[in-house]
Structure 1
Amino acid sequence: MTLYDKIQSLAKKEHVSLKTLALNLGFSENYFYIMKRQNSRPSQDKLEKIADYFHISVDYLLGRTDSSTSENVENDLEVMVNSAMSFGGKPLSDNDREFVKKMLRLHLESKENN
Structure 2
Amino acid sequence: MQSIYERIELLIKRQGITKKSFCAQLGISTGNMGDWKRGKSTPGTHKLIEIAAFFHVSLDWLILGKQPQTIQESGEDYFFGQMRQLNCQTEELLPEEKNFIKEYLAFTKYRKDQDKDQDTKGENS
Residues 52, 59 of structure 2: 8 Å contact kept: yes
1:13 to 1:19, Cα distance in 2 relative to 1, 3 A: same
Stretches of structure 1 lacking an aligned partner (at least 5 in a row): 79-114
AA matched with 2:59: V
- Separation (CA, whole Å) in 1 of partners of 2:37 and 2:30: 13
Matched, 1:60 2:61: yes
Match of 1:33 in 2: 34
Residues 11, 21 of structure 1: 8 Å contact kept: yes
For residue 45 of structure 1, report the CA deviation from its aligned partner: 0.2
Match of 1:16 in 2: 17
Q: Which has the larger radius of gyration?
A: 2
Match of 2:51, SS?
A: helix
- Separation (CA, whole Å) in 2 of partners of 1:64 and 1:4: 11
AA matched with 1:51: A
1:5 to 1:45, Cα distance in 2 relative to 1, 3 A: same
- Separation (CA, whole Å) in 2 of partners of 1:7 and 1:64: 11
- How many aligned positions are there? 72
Stretches of structure 2 lacking an aligned partner (at least 5 in a row): 74-125
Residues 12, 18 of structure 2: 8 Å contact kept: yes
- Separation (CA, whole Å) in 1 of partners of 2:59 and 2:20: 21
Match of 2:30, SS?
A: coil
Residues 22, 31 of structure 1: 8 Å contact kept: no
Runs of 4+ in 1 over 6 A off after TM superposition: none
TM-score normalised according to structure 1 size? 0.55
Match of 2:3 in 1: 2
- Separation (CA, whole Å) in 1 of partners of 2:16 and 2:34: 17
Deviating more after overlay: 32-41 vs 20-29: 32-41
CA RMSD of the aligned region, Å? 2.0
For residue 18 of structure 1, report the CA deviation from its aligned partner: 1.5
Instruction: Among all aligned residue pairs of Structure 1 and Structure 2, give the percentage whose two residues are the same amino acid.
Output: 31
